[in-house]
Amino acid sequence: MSAAPTKEDLARIMYEESVQAAAGLRRHFDASPMREALGLDPSGGLLLKMESALPTGSFKIRGAMHRLQHLSEEERGRGVVAASTGNHGAAVAHAASLTGVAATVLIPEPTPEGRAQAITSRGAGVVRSGAECGEAEAAARHRAEASGETFVSPYNDPVVMAGQGSLGVELLQHLPTLRRVYIAVGGGGLIGGVSAVLKHVAPEVEVIGCSPRASHPMHASVAAGEIVETEHLPTLSLATAGGLEEGSVTFPPCRDFVDRWELVDEGEIEEGLVRLLSEERILAEGAAAVALAVWSRDPRPEDGRKDCVVVCGGNLDIGDLRRVLGAPGA
């Protein structure tokens, strides 16, 4: 019987697969920009990794595209199905349109029409099913089993996680000046892939997992040493809200490779959104402000190295923007 893979083996495998993913993604879009945040830190000690500049406005296109690029010809012919009300659904739709694969996204019945149009405008079909995201996902999985379509998970898939890990490959270009990386955490696909890549090549870089206090399943699960159920309250960080699937492939890298876990309150998220908009002219979604809020609390580097906040997406609902800014009609 062969020995179980070590943490070092897992980091190496994720690094190798993420390098391959990065090369494949370049056929469809460039690396996301890295910019100095001189408004937030005039000393030049903060970098912003602008995932919001990617197609569909978030990092989710990385995992979705890489997953579809891994389909066999037979799987391509049967198409794919996903469940989402936001970034993942748009990413699957866009990736499917670029790769010539039929896609259907299941959304909960109450989903606003604007979110449905963000999916259909990219060529995917939309089916309303269930009262909330969990029911829509269960229906999507049942449909995939019955139809032979491939279910594309937003995070619980090693191929999707390797796609998200391509962001870590891009960060390697900024060594040895990189000191800390701040990443918002939901299901853990992004930070799981990125942390494994960084720990394989540059273990001295600190990776910080950032979550809203209102919904932090991975933070709680890592603290408990196993995936646990947690309470989920309303939060501006919609992209990270929700629970974890039992046995999620993202749990081991989050447990083994993330150096520190932090929680932020809703007021800190609001302040982060306002600061990004007023000081950097960046319209970001709540999850990006979660990462910025944690950076804002930490001491600044004094060794000449730089911090990086991942601006994971820019798809902020107009109603949330109005409320944060105190605009009429909020």
- For residues 189 and 162, the answer to whether their CB atoms sit within 8 Å is no
Q: What are the domain boundaries of the chain?
A: 7-59+158-325, 80-148
Q: Which helix (H) or strand (E) holds 215?
A: none
For the stretch 220-237, pLDDT in tens is 999 999 999 998 899 999
Residue 109 predicted with pLDDT over 70 = yes
Statement: residue 127 has pLDDT above 70: yes
- The dihedral of CA 102, 106, 109, 112: what is its sign? negative
- Asked whether the CA dihedral 161, 162, 166, 168 is positive or negative, the reply is positive
Reported as type and span, the H/E element at residue 315 is: none
| pTM of structure | 0.94
Q: How far, in Å, CA of 237 to CA of 54, rounded?
A: 19
**Model confidence over 288-306: pLDDT tens digits?**
999 999 999 999 878 889 9
Does residue 37 register a pLDDT over 60?
yes
What is the average per-residue pLDDT within 27-34? 97
**Strand (E) positions, 159-270?**
178-184, 206-212, 260-264
The pLDDT of residue 73 is 97
pLDDT of residue 57: 96
pLDDT tens per residue across span 233-285: 999 998 998 888 899 999 999 999 999 999 999 999 999 999 999 999 999 99
Question: Domain 7-59+158-325, CATH 3.40.50.1100 — does that match?
Answer: yes
**Topology adopted by domain 80-148:** Rossmann fold (3.40.50)
